[in-house]
Amino acid sequence: MAGTDRREAIAEAVLELVSHGGARALSHGAIDTHLGLPRGSSSYYFRTRTHLIAAAAGRLIERSRAQFIALTSTMPPAPAPQQAAEVIAGYTDRLVTRRVGEVRARFALAPEVDDPVVREHLTRAFFSPDAAAALCETLGHPVPHTTARGLLAYLEGVAAQAALGVPDVRADVPLLERLLTPPEPH
């Protein structure tokens, strides 16, 4: 296994172990055992627990970005709120169904991080405040960053429900459309 492949495998192992066993399941030894590597192998690539979590956050960001780009490629450059709501709901629904283990891992790892950069990567792993604000600006919101914060709070709530095992969690398209529709000028 090449160095890059091993780094990716270790980051994936972090997500798998934590999604099933919580943050307590994360150790270099557990990763080595999980991957069938000689003892000490994972610590060669990632010296500390924070480095392991940073690698896992990077994998989440990569995967989320790729999925979101694939979904938004079908959206017109200036979408209507309903179109944007449907794309966001589709992305979120895939996240809370097909990637629920990653959602659980992210929520389990977040309190474990003291490094502010790694914490920011974890908090932005699934949803981008900048992309949300840009979308709200495109849709004509007078205060796009404020609207984006509300949108992301709703989406994080959907993700949290999935992580907690609430059955049949889905993003609500009509609610997203209301959030994304700019207010009428007075």
Amino acid, single-letter form, for residue 24: R
Kindly state the tokens that stand for 76: 């017109």
Q: What is the pLDDT of residue 36?
A: 96
What's the farthest any 2 CA atoms get from each other in the chain? Answer: 67
Q: What is the pTM of this model?
A: 0.87
Gap between the Cα atoms of 98 and 84, Å rounded: 21
* Closest by CA position to 127, among listed 94, 156, 160, 103: 156
- Tell me the HSE value of 45 on the side-chain side, using a 13 A CA sphere: 25
Query: How confident is the prediction along the chain (186 residues), in pLDDT tens digits per residue?
Result: 565 699 999 999 999 999 999 999 999 999 999 999 999 999 999 999 999 999 999 999 998 888 888 877 888 888 999 999 999 999 999 999 999 999 999 999 999 888 999 889 888 889 989 989 999 999 999 999 999 999 999 999 999 999 999 988 999 999 999 999 999 887
92, containing H or E segment: helix 81-98
Contact (Cβ atoms closer than 8 angstroms) between residue 89 and residue 172? yes
Among candidate residues 120, 117, 147, the one with its CA nearest the CA of residue 131: 147
Element (H, E) at 42: helix 41-45
SS3 state of residue 98: helix
Among residues 172, 175, 178, the alpha carbon closest in space to that of 93 is found at: 172
The answer to whether 139 and 150 have CB atoms below 8 angstroms apart is no
